Amino acid sequence: MKVLLIQPQSTDPLMDQVYLFEPLALEYLGAGLKLDGHSVEIIDARLEPDPEAACRRFKPDMVGLTGFTSHLNIIKGLATRLKGIFPELLVVVGGHHATVQPEDFNVPSIDVVVIGEGVYTLREIVRAVEQESGFREIKGLAIPCPDGMLYTAQRPYTDLNELPFPDRTLTASYRHNYFSEWFKPLASIRTSLGCTARCNFCALWNITGGKYLRRDPAAVVEELKTIAEPNIFFCDDESMCDVKRMDRLADLIRDAGIKKNFFLYGRVDTIVKHPELLAKWAKIGLSQIFVGMEDFSDTRLTAMKKGITTVQQIQAAKILDDLGIMMYASFMVDPGYSREDFSSLVAYVRRLKLKYATFTVMTPLPGTELHTERKDEILSQKPELYDMLHALLPTTLPREVFYRELADLYTKAVPLYRALPVVLRVGLRGLMLRIRLLGRLLAKIRTGYLDY
């Protein structure tokens, strides 16, 4: 069977100039299908924005689409267009939003929705089509129906060690485009799935039923040996949850002589409790950690169930700075912020002497406790606004003022003299590009109140 896997275009192409990660989930799916002898292509519509042309050229029997909540209308629109061109085409949808809220894809142009890990599920779907046996016996599916979605039995999450290595040859023509900040070219790798924390704004721990799934470090190293890119992003939900595993992985990477620049997610409390682990990773190439700081208030951190304190945040920032590891600090702005809160956040970031910080809006994403608890307060159901840059809960400040304050965080919180040496890693030409991008991003944020 011929299968075309499509990474949809982004809601706003501007964000693809800020970061662009490879479609690792589709590379996993492609690898699984090729094991069964199927012909597979991946189209990254962020870089090749005409999937219809790809369909006409490749003439697939099946198309697979994936995406987050913000992609909902993009996916449904693309499915409708493809069905209009090829009425016999089987359209399968998976990904994050399909897992947490599959009922949103109950439309005539979509034939089946995959819930959860899709490698084995998609292989079974293809097999069922070839055998004309139907989908009812396949676990982990939602089947669109005019009378309401039909759900098959739940599929337990697959042991990560049973999955094939993702097939990166399927994105060979795109690979030089994938990057994040100064990491270019950048490859992604998954070493775990899920998280041990229980933050109320995050669905990732809930998706795996609260389990933290791990790959064997030896398998991770074998996959790393196959990756050509000098920069590696660990796209785990949280990489450092299992300290012993990460300690062994560091040893194996060192012993294998692998020389890469690593970028991963790490929690504040892990950094504080295990600085020796971070020191070991710094020696083998860990150069940046994405750290979810979230807020500067212990009261709000507790309400989020974040499981960290501001004292630990301060300690973590110093530990990483002393080790020469860049902290990519991420803060979530509460829609309830007052002007004083915005000013306090600026002062806090400056107190921590951070060199790099980003600011998103606390968003009640589907599948989270926050969404369940506050769904009656949500201001808009437009999927495009679920981009972490729009306030979907009522703001204390007038909306226009809130967005102006949000944009000002990017220009006030990290002093230029601290940020400049970091940003200059991309070179003078890259610096000028990022200055232009920042201007466009700030303009987008400041006018966000008009998007409702």
Q: pLDDT digits over 114-156, tens only? A: 999 999 999 999 999 999 999 999 999 999 999 999 999 999 9
**DSSP annotation string for 258-309:** ---EEEEE--HHHHHH-HHHHHHHHHTTEEEEEEEEE-S-HHHHHHTT----
Q: pLDDT digits over 19-36, tens only? A: 999 999 999 999 999 999
Residue 344, pLDDT score: 98
Residue 423, pLDDT score: 85
Residue 430, pLDDT score: 84
- Going from the C-alpha of 193 to that of each of 33, 269, 372, the distances in angstroms are 21, 19, 23
Nearest CA among 195, 209, 207 for reference residue 238: 195
Is the Cα dihedral 73, 74, 77, 79 positive or negative? negative
Residue 434, pLDDT score: 87
Chain-centroid distance of CA 97 in Å reads 12
In whole numbers, what is the pLDDT of the chain averaged over residues?
A: 96
The Cα 429–Cα 382 span in angstroms is 37
- Sequence-separated (6 or more) residues with CB below 8 Å from residue 380: 390, 392, 452
CATH fold for the domain made of 2-151: Rossmann fold (3.40.50)
Residue 422, pLDDT score: 87
Residue 104, pLDDT score: 98
Per-domain residue ranges of the chain: 2-151, 175-450
Residue 335, class by beta-carbon neighbours within 10 Å (0-12 exposed, 13-18 middle, 19+ buried)? buried
The Cα 36–Cα 131 span in angstroms is 14
Residue 179 parent element (H or E): strand 179-180
One-letter amino acid at 169 equals T
Question: Which stretches of the chain score pLDDT less than 50?
Answer: none
Residue 28, pLDDT score: 98
Domain 2-151 and domain 175-450, same fold? Reply is: no
- Sequence-separated (6 or more) residues with CB below 8 Å from residue 62: 1, 2, 3, 4, 89, 90, 91, 92, 125, 126, 129
Domain 175-450: assigned CATH number: 3.20.20.70
